[in-house]
Structure 1
Amino acid sequence: MNEYEIFAQIKSALSDAPRNQYTAELHLQMIKYADELKNITAKEFCERVGLRGSFGTEFSKMRNLTQRLKAAGLDTAKI
């Protein structure tokens, strides 16, 4: 899957998320695609998804958390 398709998937998942689950879905999508987006800056992620720049911190946190989750056995392909 290329970056364009990944960002389309993320946008779709966020638009389908219930209002009270938006942030949880955003975090999940960040974890799901962390490896594919490892060369994307937090600023670029926010711009391409259409988020406020303040969500860049969340992107960085989730990317770091993903490595620990994978070390503990998480298979991001199952998300």
Structure 2
Amino acid sequence: MTENDIYQSIKQVLAAAPRNQYTVEMHLQMLKYADALKTVTSKEFCEGVGLKPSFGTEFSKMRNLTQRLKAAGLDTTLL
């Protein structure tokens, strides 16, 4: 899956998310694709997905959190 494919997938999931679950779904998608996007800057991520630049901080947090969760046994391929 290419970087652009990932962005399109995330856009589709976010567009289909119920309004009260949008942020939760955004965080879940960030966790799911953290490894595939580890060389992407938060600015590039936000631009690719069409998010406000302020969400870049959330992307960085989720990418860092992914490593801790994987060390505890999370399999991101199951998300």
- Do they fold alike, i.e. is TM over 0.5? yes
RMSD over aligned CA atoms reads 0.4
Q: Which amino acid aligns with 2:52?
A: R
The match for 2:72 is 72
1:50-65 equivalences under 5 Å are 50-65=50-65
In structure 1, distance between residues paired with 2:55 and 2:4: 20
Does residue 15 (structure 1) correspond to residue 51 (structure 2)? The answer is no
In structure 2, distance between residues paired with 1:38 and 1:46: 14
- 2:47 touches 2:53 (CA, 8 Å); kept in 1? yes
The match for 1:6 is 6
Give 1:63 deviation, angstroms. 0.2
SS in 1 for 2:55: helix
Percent sequence identity over aligned pairs: 71
In structure 1, distance between residues paired with 2:37 and 2:60: 11
CA-to-aligned-CA distance 1:2-56 (integer Å, 9 cap, x gap):
1111111100010010000000000000000000000100011001111110000
Q: Structure 2: where are the runs of 5+ without partners?
A: none
Q: Structure 1: where are the runs of 5+ without partners?
A: none
In structure 2, distance between residues paired with 1:12 and 1:48: 13
